[in-house]
């Protein structure tokens, strides 16, 4: 029988997720110990979406491709993306399912139509948006969590925009603007969670990908969501470096762009302008990740369709989910 200890007030009631009425400390401790009332679970999160892919180079195209934008980054620990304010931890109920999706990285191809943005990552009510695709030659970068870099072009071309509180925009290209064809122009860098992609002029060197953001939710500082570097033009140029946090490097002339790093949300590196009669590849975007930190008194169940693992850090547990879509719950 649950008394009010001589206090006047509503009768005490208890369930696994909540309690009402007036409780003495010893009574609350007794109910928690008997697992009758586990109470709300304050959960920190890092949600990173998949990075955008970047186009390769078909035969005869002298312009470099833009780097893919990093996946959007939302976090309650250390810092969040796009220069936004740190987010607030979620208060969750035990024995309740919460949706988790880890976004895939965007695809690469020598066909402009087949290069894709990254996919969204989701935890409960939190969605981080996939990174924008890198702009093929002559095209703007795609919009996304972080924007894709513009492809090389004879005219000024814009980078894609990043989403507020998630990432920055991709770099632009100025074109050459002198009425001649100077071997094509290089691609610009994709945006990162921590900085915009680098814009380029009429030279042969491509733009670097924007930097990512360092987050310490696992107990160690790890950088996520760097933008992909742009691809060089056909005339012995250098590819843009990938942004810190898994951004793929753009291709130098006669080379290939590199993929964004898996589970960082890094953007793919752009392909180069063609100079040796063969097609060259760009980089695919890196997949995203969802990381959850909560009190060690609770046990998480990772549902079917998800790949993840749990470690203990100080007085908390940290669960890292690296692939799939499904539900998680706590007891």
pLDDT recorded at residue 179: 39
Please say whether the beta carbons of 89 and 295 come within 8 A.
Answer: no
Whole-prediction pTM value? 0.88
Please say whether the beta carbons of 103 and 71 come within 8 A.
Answer: yes
pLDDT recorded at residue 48: 98
**Radius of gyration in angstroms for the set of CA atoms belonging to the chain, rounded to a whole number:** 24
pLDDT recorded at residue 276: 62
Strands (E) located in 49-180: 73-75, 90-92, 98-101, 121-123, 126-128
pLDDT one-digit tens code per residue, 235-282: 767 899 999 999 999 998 888 999 999 999 999 999 888 766 667 889
Q: Quote the mean pLDDT of the chain.
A: 87
pLDDT recorded at residue 8: 47
CA nearest neighbour of 192 among 276, 324, 71 = 71
Place of tokens 């790890």: 222
Distances (CA, A) of 36 to 9, 14, 39, 116, 160: 21, 7, 9, 49, 52
Half-sphere exposure of 220 (CA within 13 A, CB side): 3
3-state helix, strand, coil in the chain (%, to 5): 5, 20, 75
pLDDT recorded at residue 153: 82
Distance CA 223, CA 169 (A): 18
Q: Which residues of the chain have pLDDT under 50?
A: 1-3, 6-8, 16-17, 29, 33-35, 177-181
pLDDT one-digit tens code per residue, 286-328: 999 999 999 999 999 999 999 999 999 999 999 999 999 999 9
First to last CA, the chain: 25
Distance CA 134, CA 100 (A): 27
3-class DSSP assignment, residue 91: strand
Question: In this structure, what DSSP letter does residue 29 have?
Answer: H
């Amino acid at each position: 029988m649950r008394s009010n200890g001589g206090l006047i007030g509503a009768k005490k009631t208890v369930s696994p997720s909540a309690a009402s009425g007036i409780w003495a400390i010893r009574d609350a401790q007794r109910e928690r110990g008997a697992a009758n009332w586990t109470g709300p679970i304050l959960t920190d999160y890092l949600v990173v979406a998949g990075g955008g892919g970047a186009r390769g180079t078909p035969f005869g195209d002298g312009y470099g491709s833009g780097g893919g934008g990093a996946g959007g980054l939302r976090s309650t620990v250390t810092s969040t993306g796009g220069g936004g304010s740190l987010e607030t931890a979620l208060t969750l109920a035990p024995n309740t399912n919460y949706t988790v999706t880890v976004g895939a990285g965007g695809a690469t191809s020598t066909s402009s139509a087949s290069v894709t943005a990254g996919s969204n990552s989701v935890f409960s009510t939190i969605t981080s948006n996939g990174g924008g695709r890198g702009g093929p030659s002559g095209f703007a970068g795609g919009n996304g969590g972080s924007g894709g870099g513009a492809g090389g072009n004879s005219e000024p071309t814009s980078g894609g925009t990043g989403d507020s509180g998630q990432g920055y925009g991709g770099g632009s290209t100025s074109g050459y603007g002198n009425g001649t064809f100077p071997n094509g122009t290089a691609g610009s860098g994709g945006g990162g969670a921590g900085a915009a992609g680098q814009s380029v002029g009429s030279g042969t060197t491509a733009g670097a990908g924007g930097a990512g953001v360092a987050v310490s939710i696992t107990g160690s500082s790890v950088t996520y969501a760097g933008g992909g570097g742009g691809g060089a033009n056909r005339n012995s140029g250098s590819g843009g470096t990938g942004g810190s946090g898994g951004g793929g490097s753009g291709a130098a002339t006669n080379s290939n762009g590199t993929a964004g790093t898996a589970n960082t949300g890094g953007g793919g590196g752009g392909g180069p302008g063609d100079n040796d009669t063969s097609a060259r590849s760009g980089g695919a975007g890196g997949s995203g990740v969802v990381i959850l930190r909560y009190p060690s008194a609770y046990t998480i169940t990772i549902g079917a369709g998800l790949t993840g693992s749990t470690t203990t850090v100080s007085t908390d547990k940290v669960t890292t989910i690296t692939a799939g879509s499904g539900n998680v719950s706590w007891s």
